[in-house]
Structure 1
Amino acid sequence: MSRIFISLVALSFIAGLGACSKEPEEAEIIRPVRAVKVGDAAVFTGRSFPGRARAHQEVDLSFRVAGPLVELPTDIVGRGYRKGDVIARIDPRDYEVKVQDAEGKLERAKADARRAQAEYMRELNIFKEDAGATSKAAVDRKRAARDQANADIKSLAASLDAAKDELSYTYLKAPFDGKVTAKFVDNFQDVRQKQPVVRLLDTSSIQMVVDLPETLISRLPYVTDIHVVFDTFPDQKIPARIYEVGTEASRTTRTFPVTLIMDQPDDIEILAGMAGRAFGRSKSPEDIAAEGIPVPVGAVFKPETEQQDYVWVVDENTGVVTKRKVTTGKLTSSGISISDGIKVGEWVVTAGVHSLEEGQQVRILNSNGE
């Protein structure tokens, strides 16, 4: 009896050791995903973005030829010019001489060509009338001389055109309507080719660059009624529109430069460097849905066995993903348009869509990948 009891105790002890050695079940891993809140334009409402005014066009003008200045107003800074107006001028005498010299060479070459043509025709007629009076080689020499004379005409004509161009370059003309804001040389000074002479700004339109977080770039199409208020004129709302959106985010701030453009107001003058803030109004969710909700192209996928387009929609409360059928439209600069299947304000996965499963729990990464 005692032996049986000891054996039972030993077996119970070994079974207990086995139970204790089992590893605990692994906790379910919640996968991080990148996602966007589609059509969420409300993030712009009530917000403003700082920036500074700059000229729509700005250029440092220089001559394409060198020489002494003979025309450059001393009070040129602040003057306005129309496109094509002469701003400054180099002494043209040396370039006028070049033109005259090229014209003379061209006229002489034309005279030589006429003589060469006459000599060739005379030699050719002699050869035709009496082959023994001349030779085929002599005719060929006369023809070669004529051809060379014609080639000389083409070369000298090109030289004359170049000389005329250089003469025209002695005039520095405004390439657009603008105002001179800086002068780098003085009148009667010798200037080099491509040496900056004056700076011209086009102030008919004003630009302002604002920096937007990368999370807001895809929502720019939903913003309307953009206007800018400059600190110098706090009571003036200047209508603006988006001119350009940067294609690369800053490595430090993770923001994209967005350039706004606006017409110069009639009653005030916005100068380059003035500080201001940009405002905008969001479109309504109904308007966004009616136009088609754009999502990143990487959000839309087709299973191998189907021809239907899908997206993964993330439940904001539970983090669970659901595969949703969608109707796609045209491709736009903001992504691919969805006309049916999702609603404004829903979260849609934008990367790794082929490795998710129905009902899987995920967590949405922020703009820093955290």
Structure 2
Amino acid sequence: MVKAYEIAHRAMRFTCRFGGMLGIALGVIVTAAHADDAPFVKLAPVTAGASQLERVFFGKVVARATVDLAFQVSGQIVELSLDEGAAVSKGSALARMDLEPFELALEQAQANEDQARRTVERFEKLAGSSVAETNLEDARTTMTIADVALRDAQRNLEHATLVAPFDGIVASRLVPNFSTVTAGTPIVRLHDLSELRIEIDVPETLFQRAGQDPNVVFTAQFPASDRSFPLEVREYNAETAEIGQTYSITLGMPLPEDLIVLPGSSVEVTAVLQTGGQSLEVPTSAVVIGNDNETYVMVFGPTGASRGTVTRTPITIEPTNRGTAQVVEGLSDGQEIVVSGASALADGTAVRRFIGFGD
């Protein structure tokens, strides 16, 4: 009986000792595990660059001029074979009326002018009598009228052919062929594309500087091309839009040789304002918008070689078209920020610097 009691007592003492040692061991393991719970974060320094502000506007391509061309005489159109969208050169024939009535009128005017000239010559030979002098003056007046009629007939014949006043593109035919039209009836709509024009609406602050400040640079990018084309300010609309308090600016550029751009096409216009000095930029992936709509980043503060804590730091930014955000306020050059997963971190979280999978 005593031996059984001693055996049981020794077993309890062993269990207590082993349990204590196991508890200590587990505590060490848990403590070590907690020490490595700090998440890895990817960091990047805040960099300084040339200070500039960018704005992107969506514009519309317009022709330098759009003109509805018309005959200055009445008649029947017998030639109108233009294709809409076709390019035409200055002076080329766009449409032609039936020329026979105008040619006959010219022949008649020429005959009348010849007859009036012969009459004047006859009376000049009879000069000297009062009757001859009176008839001579009347004949000279008749000849002047005949000469005017001749020039008018010549002009009408010339205007029976509609010609392009500039190099351009046929936007549309406004009447069918063989139509009988009166003078002034629009026949063809023509776009002047000797220079491409782009219209955008800009805020008042940019309107006041555009075209006068050399630090404001405009470029255009079309949907069918990745290239950027420099623009120059051509015109201003001095009246504001009814909505938005914006002003219309017309920009110009040469017509691209290897790109088809027609009036009405959409275009993205970037306005870059060089403000001088230095600006700070951060990756857009580092910027977080909180539930309170506050924009912030997580700034890394080192506490060791590869460890540290993060601090939620509110910032004010301006977007750029380079995949970065320009920091107006809140950061300093050289600070390190979390560039990935910052939204999952809380203020004061302990973190470890992510160096690479091989380290």
- Could you say whether these structures have the same fold, taking a TM-score greater than 0.5 normalized by the shorter chain as the test? yes
CA distances 1:232-256 after superposition (whole Å, capped 9, x unpaired): 2351212211010112222433221
Say if 1:214 and 1:171 are closer, same or farther in 2 by CA, change over 3 A.
same
Structure 1 position 102 matched with structure 2 position 96: no
Change (3 A) 1:43 1:150: farther
Quote the residue 1:179 is aligned against.
169
Alpha-carbon distance in structure 1 between the residues aligned to 2:141 and 2:195: 50
Distance 1:238 1:188 in 2: 44
What aligned pairs does 1:177-216 form with structure 2 within 5 A after superposition?
A: 177-216=167-206
1:270 to 261, 271, 284: 261
Whether contact under 8 Å (1:208, 1:261) holds in the other structure is yes
Percent of residue pairs identical: 28
Contact 1:184–1:196, Cα closer than 8 Å, also in 2: yes
Q: 1:247 aligns with which of 238, 243, 253?
A: 238
User: Which digits, 9 at most, give the CA deviation of each residue in 1:175-225, with x for residues without a partner?
Assistant: 111121211222222122211212111234211111122233221222443
Aligned residue pairs: how many?
Answer: 226
Distance 1:236 1:159, change over 3 A: same
Partner of 2:118: 111
Query: Is the aligned partner of 1:161 residue 2:151?
Result: yes
Aligned AA (2:271)? G
State the 1:78 CA deviation: 2.4
Paired with 1:159 and 1:256, the residues of 2 have a C-alpha distance of 52
Higher strand share: 2
Match of 1:225 among 209, 217, 228: 217
* Aligned partner of residue 267 in structure 1, secondary structure: coil
Q: Is the 8 A contact 2:127 2:133 kept in 1?
A: yes
Kept in 2: contact 1:55–1:203 (CA 8 A): yes
1:44–1:195 Cα change, 3 Å = farther
Q: What's the CA shift for 1:268?
A: 1.1
> Structure 1 stretches of 5 or more lacking a match?
1-41, 124-138, 287-370
Higher mean C-alpha displacement, 218-227 vs 86-95: 218-227
**Secondary structure of the residue that 1:48 maps to in structure 2?**
strand
Counterpart selection for 1:281 from 272, 285, 297:
272
CA separation of 1:155/1:97 partners in 2, compared to 1, >3 Å: closer, same or farther?
A: same
Larger radius of gyration: 2
Do the aligned residues in 2 keep the contact of 1:44 with 1:280 (CA within 8 Å)? Answer: no
Task: Summarize deviations over 1:29-76 as a string: whole Å, max 9, x none.
Answer: xxxxxxxxxxxxx99821122211111121121111111111111x52
CA displacement at 1:259 relative to structure 2: 0.3
- Give the TM-score of the pair, scaled to structure 1: 0.57
Q: Please say if residues 54 and 273 of structure 2, whose CA atoms lie closer than 8 Å, have aligned partners that are also in contact.
A: no
**RMSD over equivalenced CA pairs, Å:** 2.1
Q: Could you tell me how far apart the structure 1 residues matched to 2:68 and 2:52 are?
A: 37
Deviation readout 1:271-318 (Å, 9 max, x if unpaired): 2111122123334559xxxxxxxxxxxxxxxxxxxxxxxxxxxxxxxx
1 CA distance for matches of 2:159 and 2:108? Answer: 18
Distance 2:249 2:71 in 1: 34
Would the aligned equivalents of 1:212 and 1:255 in 2 still touch at CA under 8 Å? yes
